[in-house]
């Protein structure tokens, strides 16, 4: 499955669960379900609900709640049973297109670099001047200045840079 988006994989898992769950749910509704199948139905409902909860996190503009995802899963199941190969779930076309594009370009998704957080400067202005003077004169290292003023080395660097 290289190149597939997580959302698509989750939909595929949910589809597989629905394919097994829906016939058992029909038997339950008709009161013809066997005792051993009741436990399996309970497990499948729990698994389907879990996948719906996961999917609603990633499909927010289209499906805001797990109930919305569950309704879409039922529509997808109905489309598969009816042989409707044209049925498209909102949000999956973009995921498919971007996955295919990444594969065709031979690129891999790379995680974003975390945005550096600006270090808050807690020392007073006159202490900042002393830190800058001590660092620029070479009298003290950043670690020594941090120890003297009981601040982090990152804050010493922020004072020197600022």
What confidence tier does 140 reach under pLDDT thresholds 50, 70, 90?
confident
The answer as to whether 112 is a domain residue is no
The per-residue pLDDT for range 61-103, each reduced to its tens digit, is: 888 899 999 999 999 999 999 999 888 888 776 545 554 544 4
Quote helix, strand, coil % in the chain, to nearest 5: 65, 0, 35
The answer as to whether 14 is a domain residue is yes
Cβ-count burial 107-143 (b if 16+ within 10 Å, e if not): eeeeeeeeeeeebebebeeebbebbbebbeeeebebe
What confidence tier does 115 reach under pLDDT thresholds 50, 70, 90?
low
Range of the domain at 147: 125-161
Percent of the chain with pLDDT strictly greater than 70: 83
Query: Are 91 and 151 in a shared domain?
Result: no
Query: Are 27 and 100 in a shared domain?
Result: yes
The answer as to whether 115 is a domain residue is no
What confidence tier does 45 reach under pLDDT thresholds 50, 70, 90?
very high
The structure tokens listed for 138 are 């070479």
The per-residue pLDDT for range 116-126, each reduced to its tens digit, is: 677 788 889 98
């400067």: which residue's tokens?
Answer: 121
The answer as to whether 63 is a domain residue is yes
Query: Are 149 and 72 in a shared domain?
Result: no
Predicted pLDDT at 87:
86
**Average confidence (pLDDT) over 123-152:** 89
The answer as to whether 116 is a domain residue is no
Query: Are 78 and 12 in a shared domain?
Result: yes
């Amino acid at each position: 499955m290289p190149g597939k988006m997580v959302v698509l994989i989750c939909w595929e898992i949910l589809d597989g669960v629905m394919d097994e769950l829906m016939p058992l749910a029909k038997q339950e509704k008709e009161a013809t379900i066997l005792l051993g199948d009741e436990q399996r139905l309970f497990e499948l409902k729990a698994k389907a609900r879990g996948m719906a909860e996961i999917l609603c996190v990633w499909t927010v503009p289209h499906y805001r709640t797990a109930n919305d995802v569950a309704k879409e899963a039922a529509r997808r199941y109905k489309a598969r049973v009816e042989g409707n190969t044209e049925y498209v779930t909102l949000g999956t076309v973009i995921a498919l297109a971007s996955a295919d594009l990444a594969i065709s370009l031979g690129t891999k998704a790379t995680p974003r670099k975390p945005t550096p957080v600006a270090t808050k400067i807690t020392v007073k202005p006159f202490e900042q001047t002393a830190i800058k003077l001590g660092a620029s004169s070479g009298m003290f290292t950043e670690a020594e200045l941090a120890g003297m003023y009981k601040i982090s080395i990152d804050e010493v660097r922020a004072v020197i840079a600022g």
